[in-house]
Amino acid sequence: CLQGMHHPCIASLQLVNAKHDTNSGLKHGTWVHAAFEHADTSLQKIVYATLDRTSHTITGRALPPLMLRSFMYQLLSALAYSHARGVAHGNLAPYRVLARELDVENDQYLLKLADFGFSPPAAALCNEELPIRPSRASPELHSDNQRKRYGPANDLWALGTVFAEAACGNREPAVYMMIQELESVDDEQMENSLHMLCDDGRDLMRQLMRAEPTVRITAADALCHPYFDGIHEQCAVVGKYLPPSRPPPCKFLALCAHKVWVPGLDFLVEQTELNSRMWSILMDWLAVVSHKFKFVPRSLQLAVDFMRRFMAATRVSRKRLQLVGIGALCLACKHEEVMIPNMNDFIFICDNAYNLEELMLVEVEILNHLQMQLHVPTVHDHLNQMLIELGSVPEHPDGEDPSKLVKWCEVLTLMGLAQHSVAIFDSAVLARCVGTLCGLLSHGVASQVTRADGTSSAGKISSKLSERVCYLSSAEDWSCLKELVKAIETCMSENREVILKCHPEYAALKPVQQLLDEYVHDSSRRANHLKARDVKQWAEKHYSIEHTRSNNLFAEFEDTSNKFLPKKAYMRGITTGDLPTFCIPAVTAALGHQLLAERRSYSNSVAS
């Protein structure tokens, strides 16, 4: 995740290389060598005159006001940059802050935030327990909380403790205990304990030490706090290295990896032994593996990104395809998961077709080819922003199980990525397609939609789906939607295991109204939702009895998928009473067909 993080106050990664060494004295040895820029000292040594970790009984140097403001501004700038890129530090402390000596006599130092080894993986953002507990844990990470919330807000709390320590020059127990309960401390008591801070400094301290992480000040907002007024003119280091004209950090969703593979490029075009059918088989198998290990959605999606970039420039034989797939998934879960399976488990699930050394070698090969750039946005990341805007997921993870809609979004994404013609599109493009279809299912009307001419307008109740919920703008978006609809149909007709084995509940055949009720976000706003009669009409139009029967997608018997694991996937079933039955993939694909029909109608009207 440090690849590409170029900030004056973050220790830059200069060189990184992975190597598998069979002569290391161990049975297997894989080494990752990383070289960072040189630093002269650390914040720990500046305050305590030692590099060793110190106890609360050691008294150091209380930093002068301007020096303290400079250090806080530098650290907040570094955190704002890393948080914007989706990276939390995880365990901020004085001995993890390095420094370059610019002018020691005048207290001029350029700080370098280092040691991101505790940065929590995505799966830990709302997890019951993380094996590593930060030493300066914020309240949401305490042991009495069943659901712990890891993320950027933890860094701000830890920075607040560093702020108090640097201001006092020690870890005075009375002060340290006071700031843990700062919301219950009055201004007079706080002023007596932290008299060396000005009023603005104490106010910043209060905002950093808020117990509720959702209202704790962010690093970006803290940089604009009155405590730092005039800092660029008063401090030469800040003025030179962090000028106001410095451009804002690149947002995580705008990140892109080294351009080996670019969206739209067929990553299989140079593969003489592979074809799109093999890609589908591999992805279906990896989906089952991920389901068995209960990996988070980002793990498999990251593995897809690794494989695309690797296979775009490296020939892979048919025999090694499964090895590359499991190697990419192994790397992805090491990046994302809290609890990582033993590598021998990956060998076992491959039916011992490869040995441990082969798996470790392919990991090294992929790592070096990707230049260690593993921290990239996935479909899940882009889609999550749309679901937050729709109100389908909370902005801050709360530990609750995801809704049925969110799970269907994840399955729909997997169905798309298993189709080679969809996998060649950028993650953001696929996310817009999935977000549009699932937004129609759950909300019926979005606050903002993208119109056919590319402009934006407010969503409204309309007979046209594209005026209700639509995030699609470019021709590439519409091409991806077309291929995604085909992918859904292919997945069902080929009885893919991602549906039948991993998520059989989505193969259940039910009346349209019952299906819509299961995915509705807010029943109090039912007037905005799609009407069952309209959805039924579209589903019957695109998946008639004759069409589904001819393609062996019509169930001639009562649905029992809620009782037994289905052996065959169907798009439509026999009528229950007066109501035809469909599965949710059929309804979703029908919405996609209807959107595409509206797009064709618009294109024809423009052409004429």
Q: In this predicted model, what pLDDT tens digit does every residue of 164-173 receive, in sequence order? A: 999 998 887 8
Q: For helices 404-417 and 512-519, what crossing angle results, to 10°?
A: 100
Pairing outcome for strands 97-103 and 448-450: unpaired
Q: In degrees rounded to 5, what are phi and psi of residue 535?
A: -65, -40
Mean pLDDT computed over 17-23: 64
All residues at 6 or more sequence positions from 23 whose CB lies less than 8 Å from its CB, including other chains: none
Task: Return d(Cα 519, Cα 581) in angstroms, integer.
Answer: 16
pLDDT band at 31 (very low <50, low <70, confident <90, very high): low
pLDDT class of 396 with cuts at 50, 70, 90: low
The b-or-e profile of 415-439 (16+ CB within 10 A means b, else e) is bbbbbbbbbbbbbbbbbbbbbbbbb
30 has a pLDDT exceeding 70: no
Q: What is the pTM of this model?
A: 0.78
Q: What is the pLDDT of residue 129?
A: 52
3-state SS, one letter per residue, for 475-527? HHHHHHHHHHHHHHHHHHHCCCHHHHCCCHHHHCCEEHHHHHHHHCCCHHHHH
At 262-318, the pLDDT tens digits run 666 788 988 999 999 999 999 999 999 999 999 988 999 999 999 999 998 899 999
User: In whole angstroms, what is the distance from residue 90 CA to residue 117 CA?
Assistant: 8
Phi-psi region of 185 (alpha: psi -120 to 50; beta: other; left: phi over 0): beta
Cβ-contact 215, 396 below 8 angstroms: no
pLDDT at site 126: 45
Structure tokens at 202: 């104490």
- Please say if the pLDDT value at position 25 is more than 50: no
Contacts of 606 (CB under 8 A, 6+ apart): none
| Strand pairing report for 108-113 and 97-103 | antiparallel
- pLDDT in the model for residue 26: 45
pLDDT > 50? residue 503: yes
Question: Rounded mean pLDDT of 160-166?
Answer: 92
% of the chain beyond a pLDDT of 90? 46
Mean pLDDT score, 380-396:
79
Q: Average of pLDDT values for 207-225?
A: 92
Residue pair 91/79 in contact (Cβ under 8 Å)? The answer is no
User: When comparing pLDDT for 214 and 567, which is higher?
Assistant: 214
Greater model confidence, 64 or 151: 64
Q: Is it the case that residue 142 has pLDDT exceeding 80?
A: no
Give residue 436's pLDDT: 94
Residue-wise pLDDT tens digits, 413-463: 999 999 999 999 999 999 999 999 999 998 888 888 888 777 888 889 988
pLDDT computed for residue 131 by the predictor: 44
Cα separation of 419 and 504, whole Å? Answer: 19
- Read off the pLDDT of residues 574-607 as tens digits, 9 standing for 90 and up: 876 667 899 999 999 999 999 999 999 888 888 7
Mean per-residue pLDDT over the chain, rounded: 85
Q: Residue 20's pLDDT band (boundaries 50, 70, 90)?
A: low
For residue 243, pLDDT beyond 50 = yes
The ranges assigned to domains in the chain are 42-249, 276-489, 504-607
Residue 368: which pLDDT band, with cuts at 50, 70 and 90?
A: confident
Which CATH superfamily hosts domain 276-489? Cyclin-like (1.10.472.10)
Identify the three-state secondary structure at position 97: strand
Q: What's the pLDDT at 336? A: 84
Residues 6+ apart with CB under 8 A from 371: 3, 16, 258
Q: Does domain 42-249 have CATH number 1.10.510.10?
A: yes
Q: What is the pLDDT of residue 588?
A: 96
For residues 319 and 85, the model is more confident at 319
Sequence-distant (6+) residues with CB within 8 A of 17 are 32, 33, 368
Question: Which pLDDT value is given to residue 200?
Answer: 95
